[in-house]
Chain A
Amino acid sequence: MEQIIEVVFAILILLGAVIAVISVFGLIRLPDVYLRSHAATKSATLGVLLILLGAFFYTWFVHDFFSIKLLLGILFVFITSPVAGHLNARAAYRSGVALWKGSVRDDFREAIKQERQQEIEEIKKQLKN
């Protein structure tokens, strides 16, 4: 019985490692910052979560040690990694990194243009005063 449980947790950790490798392939193969960020953020997060979950269950059931630190780590990675991906993509877009050639539509550019125009008008008003 215990061996079956160990094999299940080993498969969990192996699955996490495989997903991390897939995310690295995405990082190499994809053409543009936003697509690469998409690959790096989501599948790397899932890979780390699965590895931590496997380690957590292993220490819980096999070594009989309930590790709060691993649970906290799972929660922490689950919150921080998407936020980091969002900030990367946002900083890249705001500093003018172009989209991939095959991209079809770009709604955010209009919003940024309006924002820039508003800023310019405010500066003009301040200069007049």
Chain B
Amino acid sequence: MKFPDVILQTAAKILVFIIMIYSIYILFAGHNNPGGGFIGGLITASAIMLLYLAFDVETVGEIIPLDFKVIGAVGVMLALLTGFGAVLFGVPFLTQVYQYVNLPLLGKTGLGTAFVFDLGVYLAVVGTTVTIIRSISEDL
């Protein structure tokens, strides 16, 4: 059953951009400010939920042609591989490095391996949340 509400759809088209940008900001701000992978993933999942509310399941499937189960698995795999990357250098599992680097465009930037772990958490949270809500809402 279609629910063609033009006002909701137009607002959703603008709002999804704002929510997505804010979730990416939250993901990157996690080291020094409140934020991180978990709430960043939840905010991204809420943006996708807004798309599901405003449009069909089929339309959103065409916009984002991804299997969210795979995304969750990739996130967990990424977090695991970050831990094993530390083992390769002869230090304990999940040891993290943080140092300042002079990048050409961004200037002095703090790069840490904890961010890759956070990215894994982010992907796992997005995949799990969207999969749960989709599997509740669909008739199997």
Instruction: Identify the A interface with B (CB < 8 A).
Output: 72, 75-76, 79-80, 83, 86-87, 90
Contact = CB atoms under 8 A, between A and B. Distances in A.
A75 B18 contact: yes
B5 interface: yes
Contacts, number: 18
Contact of A76 (B5, B7, B8, B15): B15
A83 B14 CA distance: 12
Contact of A80 (B5, B15, B22): B15
Q: Give the dominant DSSP class at A's interface.
A: helix
A72 B11 contact: no
B123 to A, nearest CB: 24
B10 to A, nearest CB: 9
Given A76-B15, A79-B11, A80-B11, 8 more contacts: A75-B18, A76-B18, A79-B14, A80-B15, A83-B7, A86-B8, A87-B5, A90-B5
Contacts of A86: 7-8
